[in-house]
Structure formats: structure tokens, C-alpha cells
Amino acid sequence: MLDAMPWIGAAEGAGSNPGSTTAAGRLRSSAILSDPRSRHVLGVVVLALLYRGVAQIGYALQFAGPVAAIVWLPVGIGIAFLYLGGIRYWPGVLVGDLLANDYQALPLGSALGQTCGNVLEIVVATLLLRKLVPRGDPLGTIGGVGGMLVASAATLVSATIGSFSLWLGDVVASGAVPRVWRTWWLGDATGALVVLPLALAWARPPPASWWHRRGAEAAAVLVALVVLSELALRTSRPLTYLVFPALIWAALRLGRHGATVAIAVAACFAIWETTREVGPFVYQSAMYSVLSTQLYIGVAALSTLFLSAVVSERERATERLATSRARLVETADRERRRIEQNLHDGAQQRLTALAVRLSMSAERARSAPESSAGMLEAAQDELILAIDELRELAHGIHPSTLTELGLADSLRGMAARSTIPIRLLELPSVRLDTTAESTAYFVVSEAITNARKHSDASWLSVRATASRGILRLEVADNGVGGASMQRGSGLQGLRDRVEAIGGTLGLVSPEGGGTRLLVELPATRPTA
């Protein structure tokens, strides 16, 4: 509900055993929480109380009133609760909004219209956010923050329905509807950008180690933020954005927890000063003052959230790369031990036997030349077997056909030898650098091995294209699906290998829907 600040409207229009009591209370609480219906009712009540409570805070601090608002904070509470708890708790938004309406200032029809718009707005925003960010943390990636921004566009629903309801109830004149609509929309949108990230971040408080490492720094950032906000908002307009260094500091050093708190503090200072008609956002026009404050809050929130998401992505990439490198070192050591074992048990033993046979043949040739032919033939057979074993060992390290013929011909040969039919949909028409070709070759080889062992697939398809310095590889099968990147799996090793050269590997493997590997590798044309 865009419920505006009053000054905007004026400018523009006994006795039992304590121990047994405590135990009984615990039993009753446990019984309530174990019953799904009771949990649902409790969740609805909690959401309604939170919604109304935050709305009352806005009224008391003059953030909001019956016509328009700088920020409408309950919208963020509603979206966060439904996103984290489930869409089934939407009646809590309905009850909370009905309790928050000012029925003395608004006709009943307009108030009910506002409520319908507010409920629909929060439900649509939650569904959009769940669709755009179905898994993971919306604050942890650029895409997640972008999805949250797109979901916030659902505030257009409430602004449209609410403004129309006010016009029908003769609360605002037709000429004022566009300004009310704009203020309503931005008020709800900024409320979502301030409260929703804060609720999502602190739904999982940081561990104790975070406070030990960052507690003092967090306190310093908070002090700096308060001082800079007070300085910037009490002086001339050129210092308005002096608070941004503290916001950047919070985003870079304190992660999503510090960044969201910093946004909330900066927004509260801006709104508080504006409602008191102090600071750089106060103009003769109340609507212009509100617009300036809303834009300031929106820019501050989005800048800080996107910067925090970039830092979070980089930190995760660094951690993943370090883990990947450790696994690659472990794999390389294991592979060296395997080669050493194979050489010792296979080729080395055969070459030793060959040396013994040749020595015996030489001695017999000196004493009985006519009888040495059989021993020489046996030595020849031993030599051929040793050569075959060494060739097989070398093939496992790097296929000779890949070096001689390139990726396309090597994949054709692999498809011809495969026991599972392979459809080669598209192959590169040019040679690429050896690193990209060998990595792509082993991705396809491992995918075929996994399909044969685990997926019960009847066919595979391979598509490989190279353009603009990127080799794109897609390997799909029609197996049972359900593959994962769990530690110790072959796919985990493939991802390590791909990421080690700066590539990416994606996996799509729904249960019963087959498996599809999507790989992108940096690739260049080999120099002559």
C-alpha cells in the first residue's frame, strides 16, 4: 500500500509450580509446531503482526500516511516472508494490510481497493522472484540482484490499482493521479529494495567467526555511515552523496549482511531528514522532495547491492578455484601413481622379461645357433606386447589422433568406436589450440563413459562450435538423468579441468529427463 505521509497530503491535498508450567508450555509449543495447520495459522498471524507493526512505524515516523509515502516498508516484509516461508502465507498480508488501513482518512471502497492492490503486488513479486531465482541466494549474484529488481517491478500493480481506487473514491483529483501513481510506485519499490535484501540477508545471521573477524570493522563502518550521512544531509547539496564511500566500504568488506544494514541506515537518515524538512532533498514542492529522496534511496540501494553481489561472486570463484586446484593436484598425484604402477606391473615387467629372453637367446646362439630362432620369436612377441601396452598408456595421457588430426576427426573416431550410438550434430571446421581441443576431447570421452555406466542411455548427441575465441560444447543423452556435481564424481573432475583453463561447465540433468553438459572453453587458432 502506498500510504503517504500526512505532510504530503497537506501540501498536495498466578500460583502453579514454575517448573511444571514451563514443561507444559514447552509441550504445548511443540504440539503446535508439529501440526501443519497450526504452523500455517501461526505463520499467518506472525506475518500480519509484522506487516501492521512496520506500517505503524512508518506512520509514527511520518514515512507514510493515507495518500502517498516516501517508502512503504511492509512490501519488503511481505515479499521476504512469502519468499522464505512459502506463498501459502499470503493471507497474513491481507490481514495485516486491512489492519493497517486508515479508515477515517479513506473511504471504505478506496481502502479495500488499496488492500487488493497491495496483496496482489506482494504475491506477484514473490512469484517472480521465485521464478527468476529458484535456488540460491538472490543477494549472492548479479543475476540474483537483477531478478530481485525485476520482481520489484510488481509494485506497478499496487500503484495502478491504488491510485485508481483513490480517484474513484474522490480522494485525489484526476489531475493528481499521475503524480500519486509515481510516488506510490517509487515508494513501494524503494521499500522493497531496502527491507527485502535486509530480511533475506539476516534470515541467516552470520556465524560467530564473522563477528570475530569483522565486528570491529562493522562498528567502524556504522559510525562512518552515521557521521557522513549527518554531514551530507545537513549541509549543501554538493555533499549529498558523501555517504557513498561508507556504502562501498560495507559492500566490499562486510558482505550482504553489512551492505544491507548500511542501506537501511542511509535510507532512514535520508527519510528522517526529509520528513523534518531538513537536508538537500527539501524543495518547495513536496512531491519533488519525495521524488528526490526516493531516487537517492534507489540509487544507493542498487549500487551497494550490485557491488556486494560482485564481491560475493568473486569470493566464491576464488574459493572454488582454490578447491579445484587442490583437487587437480590430488588427481595429478593419483594419475602419476597410476602410471607408475602401470609401468611397473606392465611394460617394465615385459621389457625385463624381454631382456632375459634376449640374453638367453644370445647365449644359446653362441652354443647352438640353430635352436635360438624360437626364443627370438618369443622375444619379438614380448616386444610387441610391451609396445602395445605403452601405446595404450600413452593414449590415456593424450590421444595421438588429437595431435595429428584435430578435435573434429578425433570425435568422429570416438563416435565410430563407441558402443553407444553418437550423433555428431556439429563439429569445428578449423583447428584450435591444443589445450582447448584436449579438454573438449576428454569432456566428451568422460560423458560417454558416464552414460555407459550410469545413465542407461540409448544414444548421445555432440555439438561443438567455435566462434569469437570460444569453443562451445554440448553433450546430451536420453538416459535416466539425476546426475550431480558431488565431490568424487567424474563430473566434478571435469568441471575442475574446465575451470582450470578459464572455462565453464553447466549441468542440466532432471530425474528421468536425460543429462546435458554445456561447456564453454577459451579457444584460439593455433599460430603457424
What single-letter DSSP state applies at residue 241? G
pLDDT score, position 404: 77
pLDDT score, position 299: 92
The answer to whether the Cα torsion of 141, 145, 147, 148 is positive or negative is positive
Count Cβ atoms below 10 Å from residue 16 Cβ, excluding itself: 8
CA dist 224 → 210, 232, 245, 263 (Å): 20, 12, 9, 13
Give the three-class secondary structure for 510. coil
Instruction: Quick: pLDDT tens for 135-147.
Output: 778 898 898 999 9
Checking if the pLDDT of 95 tops 50, the result is yes
Which domains does the chain show, CATH number per domain?
Answer: 1-204 (1.10.1760), 323-390 (no CATH), 402-522 (3.30.565.10)
**Exposed (0-12), middle (13-18) or buried (19+): which is 337, by Cβ within 10 Å?**
exposed
* Angle of helix 90-100 versus helix 108-132 axis, rounded to 10: 150
Checking if the pLDDT of 356 tops 60, the result is yes
Q: Which helix (H) or strand (E) holds 472?
A: strand 470-477
Instruction: Quick: pLDDT tens for 241-295.
Output: 888 999 999 999 998 999 999 999 998 888 888 777 777 777 766 777 788 888 8
Out of 141-145, 350-354, 416-420, 434-438, give the one with best mean pLDDT.
141-145
Checking if the pLDDT of 331 tops 70, the result is no
pTM of the shown model: 0.67
